[in-house]
Amino acid sequence: MSYQLALLVAGVAVPVLLVRLAWAPLVWAGLVLAALGMVSTLTLATLGLAVTLPIARFGAIAWILAISAVLPRRRPRATASAATETASRR
Q: What's the pTM value of the predicted model, to 2 decimals?
A: 0.78
Q: Quick one: what percent of the chain has pLDDT higher than 90?
A: 69
| Long-range contacts formed by 35-39: CB under 8 A, 24+ apart | 35/6, 36/6, 37/2, 37/3, 37/5, 37/6, 37/9, 38/2, 38/3, 38/6
Tens place of pLDDT per residue across the chain (90 aa): 579 999 999 999 999 999 999 999 999 999 999 999 999 999 989 999 999 999 999 999 999 999 999 988 777 776 766 555 555 655
Biggest CA pair distance of the chain: 58
Sign of torsion, CA 57 27 38 9? Answer: positive
pLDDT, one tens digit per residue, over 63-75 is 999 999 998 877 7
